Homo-oligomer: A and B are copies of this chain.
Amino acid sequence: MKLLEDRILKDGIVKEGNVLKVDSFLNHQMDIDLFNEMGKEWKRLFEKEEINKILTIEASGIGIAAVVAQYFKVPVVFAKKTRSINLDGQSYTAKVESFTKKKVTDVIVSKKYLNPGDNILIIDDFLANGCAVNGLIQIINESGATLKGVGIAIEKGFQDGGRLLREKGVRVESLAIIESMDASTGDVVFRH
């Protein structure tokens, strides 16, 4: 998606350790107009799928998923990363390791909100090693719901997550795939 690629080139900052900072528009400050354009694009890509629910994971996926859901006219469920007293035990759990936070977290979805017959689109901001998406897929499988596809804003194409998902037959639609990036020059090269 050229709009997103251009925005990454304009406002993204490449840091050491394969970190791409896009917190000025994607995952700290959020450009809602951009999220709307992303929603239109995913709707175009997944037009033929009868999606009835979007699943994402806190925190950075939530804003994107909420805006994008308007194009699918469906509710969003976000997987929670900590057990709060608002969750009453009847939940699916998967372990997820965050690339940026370097720690393993339990992600939790209440059993009430994923059911057999649900056709799910996963939305998230980043795909790197795929841990978050794989955790969500594990939860979807456990619930008996059907995964229709995965919509990612920015995929780090030089990490394994996207390739492994596609090899398993999962449809992954990443709006920008980074082929390579260089912290010393700030250069970002996209895959097309």
Q: What are the interface flags for A15-34 relative to B under an 8 Å C-beta threshold, 1 for contact and 0 otherwise?
A: 00101010111011111100
CB distance from A30 to the nearest CB of B (A): 5
Contact of A19 among B30, B36, B80, B85 (CB under 8 A): B85
Given A29-B76, A29-B113, A30-B76, A35:B66 Cβ within 8 A: yes
Interface status of A69 (Cβ within 8 A of chain B): yes
Q: What is the bound-complex CA distance between A28 and B108, given in angstroms?
A: 10
Return the chain B residue nearest A109 by Cβ: B28
Q: What is the bound-complex CA distance between A78 and B125, given in angstroms?
A: 15
Interface status of A62 (Cβ within 8 A of chain B): yes
CB distance from A175 to the nearest CB of B (A): 17
